[in-house]
Structure 1
Amino acid sequence: MKLNNRSNLSLIAASVGGAAIAGFGLAAGRDLYKGTKNNAGVLLLLGAALVCPYIGGRELVRGHDRGFWGTLFLTWIGSIFLLLVSIAASSAIIFYFWLFAASNNNPASVGGAVIIGAAITLLIAAIGFLVGLYQRPKRLKKFSIVRENEGFLLLNGFQETNGTDITHYDLHGNALRFLEAHPTKIVFMAVGRRGKRAFIELDKDGKMIAYSGIA
């Protein structure tokens, strides 16, 4: 399946080395879910209060490969919505605990809970904002490499089939099957030609620099 109509190869090349990290993150997420699914309501509220502002602050600045409408709705409106949801969740949690500690001299206050909730949200959002700024240069560089890889594939006549036996054709009509990606190259098997391989060479950043043809 393609992402944003981009070639899978251009994305794979720019992302070599990230698969292990992503796999670890998914596995950790599954384990966390299994261990806490019985407390889904509480976790949902805590997640909205603590995770949403971090994501909202980070997504505002970390850099995205989006058009005008994607930037408007996902980056800006989406991030602001997450912050508002977090303020509501934080305020609800604070007010809930405030009720237990309330007394005649210090009654629970909805307004006070909202103020404290907003302050916590902004603090966490600021952390996410700083993380997003740190990630931004690397992400923008990756997007640039993906676009350059798209140009390389177009120049070399690569066609992606979305099949499994034959995944690509090159400029000369050779049938190829994607095998694996290394930090320095992408490896194909030449379909129907025993023992033959083809390679796309990559630089240290995952930019495609040369196609070997079938050898």
Structure 2
Amino acid sequence: MQWTLPNILTVARMIAAPMVALVFLILPRPFADWAAMTIFLLASLTDYVDGYLARAWNQISRFGAMLDPIADKAVVVIALAVILGIHGITAWTLIPVVAILLREVFVSGLREFLGHQAGTLKVTPLAKWKTMVQMVAITMLFAWGLFDHYFVMQTLGMNAEIVSGILNGAIRDDVGLGWKFSGLMLSSYGGLVLLWCAAALTLLTGLDYFRKAMPYLTER
């Protein structure tokens, strides 16, 4: 293996994947949330940069081709597990996460079974959109955890009337509670909507890969 910059970025993304979860064992919240979101964002950016550089500098390698999809899946799967741990298991979070994980396992198994014929399952534009929506959704769900922490900490000791008065403008907002609540609503609902969209795109791409693999799965 050659230690080209694209390969170094891919390895760094692989190392970053478990760190998204391990920071919660090392740091208290909300510092762990900030660290996890930052690590995930940087790892997501390297997913684009390493591929772009490998093509632009003609440094595409077998090692990078092998590790790149593994690192991508590791980052997403571990981040989704952390999201479930932060926000709890509900139908709104569990169903799309299960759909995403099922597809990833299915496509990985399909590629392994096809072996040298796995080249027929090339990444499609829809799959690239799926990856982008996944990463934006996960980032927003990490932000949801942050806004939720700050909003809860800010309202400790306040009764419901005071909180309601600040939010509807009847009481002066000297603590910035309004923008924290707005961020909480935007990140939570926006993140969940995008997570469901990512799950739908994930299933569609999985079915597309299965359709393309069918000629190699039929008995002759």
With the length of structure 2 as denominator, give the TM-score of the two structures. 0.32
RCO higher in 1 or 2 (8 Å CA, sep ≥ 6)?
A: 2
Give the structure with the larger strand fraction. Answer: 1
Instruction: Please tell me whether Structure 1 or Structure 2 has the larger radius of gyration of its CA atoms.
Output: 1
